[in-house]
Chains A and B, each alone.
Chain A
Amino acid sequence: MSKLTVSMKVNGKAVSAEVEPRTLLIHYIRENIGLTGPHIGCDTSHCGACTVDVDGKSVKACTMFAVQAAGAEVLTIEGMAGADGKLHVLQEAFREMHGLQCGYCTPGMIVRAHRLLQENANPTEAEIRLGISGNLCRCTGYQNVVKAIQYAAARINGVEYKEAAE
């Protein structure tokens, strides 16, 4: 079980830790770096609660070894707000639209939503649902998560948010 030093940037900050090759990125982030925003919800890479952003890609941190991310730039929920503490539009939107209840899927969901809006600045509802299909939620039934993302997209694009007719 020889350890190696794995270094990367997390939320803009250089970090480094001694881990085994088999140490999963999610454990590196949570245990070695001490950021407990991303969560673990399953053991078969389905739930997406561990989703982070690695070099501009949405990645399930439970399905990557920390060593594979050596030298990468990683974004977690803790890096979404500005340096001055100003919340990201998505963080405000999730609260505004009641897009969370227990909060456990939320860090992964928001970081994924962020990447989704980078991929597609103006997604339709169907595109949003497909876009978050790698993030499971047991509390919200997704409907208000979709609204939160639509609201955030509207704000980012500088247009008025129109709630879809029921």
Chain B
Amino acid sequence: MIPGSFDYHRPTNLSDAIALLASLDAEARVIAGGHSLIPMMKLRLAMPSHLVDLAALDELRGVSADGAEIVIGAMTTQHEVIASELLAARAPILREAAELIADPQVRYMGTIGGNVANGDPGNDMPALMMCLGASYVLRGRTGERRVAARDYYQGAYSTSAAQGEILTAVRFPAPPSGHGYAYAKLKRKVGDYATAAAAVVLTLSNGQVATCSIGLTNVADTALFAAEAARAVVGSRLDKAALARASAAAEAIASPAADGRGSAEYRKKMAGVMTARALSSAFARAKS
């Protein structure tokens, strides 16, 4: 219940934050909304020596369009994601997924950066970012670089971010107008992580699936980009056979842990079921 001790810093701009991080030891952590980190600290599963609070970095907040891409600042909260008219109009899957994250209080504080940056396999946004073909903007001492979400996750809590790099924004090409989307999340109750969840974005052409992208949450030690499952429905009218192929392909790449949510076999099967349900919902929403 009581966290360990640490020193606290609250830089007022990004370059100061980066410089500060570079000067601290390897046990220093950044804190965004704190709603992944602080619970871990209270259980003493995380004992950082320093916390660098990003709260004062207004430059990391906000949702904007930059040409064909949508840019979401890392410190944008889930509550702000849900409220964003731009996202509601251009990429409504974000609101749908954000509404299924945790509870109202957590959404006021939890940030999209915090949700994608640290490689927690239970978080929902990584699968969405993979589905949307997003890239993460990382800034460190050596400058800025971008890493595709699909390449970012190495394992549980293990990512391509280098020591001292801060994830400052996520960027993704806005899905075409008329696209279909859905985030289907099976959970035990509000506030729980996914038993299994699937993010789908697709487009139709003459009633057939033209493009499709699928991301899976919490059924492996990282979020998964289900390329095979998506390929299985392209060119189809999402008939039963196509759905079954997609489910099977999703199941095939899922390797969930057994936990309070169910056996590994059950969660694997649910990866397939959520994939099928998300596909059906997305298909129904799409305009040909």
A–B: direct contact at CB < 8 Å: yes
Instruction: Decide yes or no: A134 and B106 within 8 Å by CB, A44-B39, A68-B34 being known contacts.
Output: yes
Taking a contact as CB atoms under 8 Å apart, the answer to whether A63 and B39 are in contact is: yes
Is B178 in the interface zone, CB < 8 Å from A?
no
Report the bound CA distance from A133 to B6 in whole Å: 32
Q: A57 touching B79 by the CB < 8 A rule?
A: yes
Which of A45-53, A73-81, A97-105 makes up part of the contact surface? A45-53
Contacts of A132 in B (CB 8 A): 104
| B104, A22: Cβ atoms closer than 8 Å | no
A43 with B38, Cβ < 8 A, contacts A21-B51, A133-B103 known: no
B43 contacts the other chain (CB 8 A): yes
Counting chain B CB atoms within 10 Å of each CB, the highest count among A4, A45, A46, A62 belongs to A45
- Beyond A21-B6, A43-B1, is A57–B106 a contact (Cβ under 8 Å)? no
**In the bound complex, what is the Cα–Cα distance between A45 and B1 (angstroms)?**
10
Q: Of residues 49 to 88 in A, which have CB atoms within 8 Å of B's CB atoms?
A: 51, 57-60, 62-65, 67-68
How far, in angstroms, from A51 to B109 measured CA to CA in the complex? 13
Q: Which residues of A contact B34 (CB under 8 A)?
A: 63-65, 68
- Chain B neighbourhood of A43, CB < 8 A: 1, 42-43
Question: For the complex, is A145 an interface residue (Cβ under 8 Å from B)?
Answer: no
Give the interface size bracket for A toward B: 20 to 34
In contact, B5 and A1 (Cβ under 8 angstroms): yes
B103–A65 CB distance below 8 A: no
Please tell me the number of chain B residues within 8 Å of chain A, measured between CB atoms: 30
In the complex, the answer to whether A21 meets B190 with C-beta atoms within 8 Å is no
Docked pose: A62 CA to B55 CA in angstroms: 18
* A20–B5 CB distance below 8 A: yes
Given contacts A21-B51, A22-B6, A130-B190, contact A57 B43 (CB under 8 A): no
User: How far does the alpha carbon of A65 sit from the alpha carbon of B42 in the complex, in Å?
Assistant: 11
B38 and A133 contact, CB distance less than 8 A: no
Question: Looking across the interface, which residue of chain B has its beta carbon closest to that of A69?
Answer: B55
At the interface, yes or no: A112 with Cβ under 8 Å from chain B?
yes
- Residue B228 at the chain A interface, CB threshold 8 Å: no
Task: Tell whether, in the assembled complex, residue B105 and residue A59 are in contact, meaning their CB atoms are under 8 Å apart.
Answer: yes
Whole-angstrom distance between the alpha carbons of A20 and B53 in the complex?
15
Contact A59 B109 (CB under 8 A): yes
Q: Is the CB of A65 within 8 A of B38?
A: yes
Q: Does B7 contact A (CB under 8 A)?
A: yes
Contact of B104 among A21, A58, A67 (CB under 8 A): A58
Residues of A within 8 A of B53 (CB): 67-68
Bound-state CA distance A2–B10 (Å) is 16
Contact between A21 and B109, CB atoms less than 8 A apart: no
Q: Which of B39-60 contact A (CB under 8 A)?
A: 39, 41-43, 51, 53, 55
Contact B43 A44 (CB under 8 A): yes
Digitize A1-33: 1 where CB-to-B-CB distance is under 8 Å, 0 elsewhere. Answer: 110100000000000000011101000000000
Contacts of B103 in A (CB 8 A): 48, 133-134
| In the complex, residue of chain A having the shortest beta-carbon distance to the beta carbon of B55 | A68
Within 8 A of A (CB), among B51-84: 51, 53, 55, 79
With a cutoff of 8 Å between Cβ atoms, the chain B residues found around residue A46 in the complex are 191
Shortest Cβ distance from B246 into chain A, in angstroms? 30
Complex Cα spacing A67 to B34, Å: 12
Interface residues of A in 90-116 (CB under 8 A from B): 112, 116
The smallest C-beta distance from B76 to any residue of chain A, in angstroms, reads 14
Q: How far is the CA of A44 from the CA of B36 in the complex (A)?
A: 10
CB distance from B113 to the nearest CB of A (A): 16
Nearest CB in chain A: distance from B90 CB, A = 23
Q: Does B4 contact A (CB under 8 A)?
A: yes
Alpha-carbon separation in the docked complex, A154 to B126 (Å): 41
Q: Is B8 an interface residue (CB 8 A)?
A: yes
Q: Which residues of B contact A (CB under 8 A)?
A: 1-8, 10, 31, 34-35, 38-39, 41-43, 51, 53, 55, 79, 102-106, 108-109, 190-191
Which positions in A face B, CB cutoff 8 Å? 1-2, 4, 20-22, 24, 40, 43-46, 48, 51, 57-60, 62-65, 67-68, 112, 116, 130-134
| Sample (24) of A-B pairs whose CB atoms are under 8 Å apart | A2-B7, A20-B5, A21-B6, A22-B3, A22-B4, A43-B1, A44-B42, A45-B42, A48-B103, A57-B79, A58-B104, A59-B108, A62-B42, A63-B38, A63-B39, A63-B106, A63-B109, A64-B34, A65-B34, A65-B38, A67-B8, A68-B34, A68-B55, A134-B102
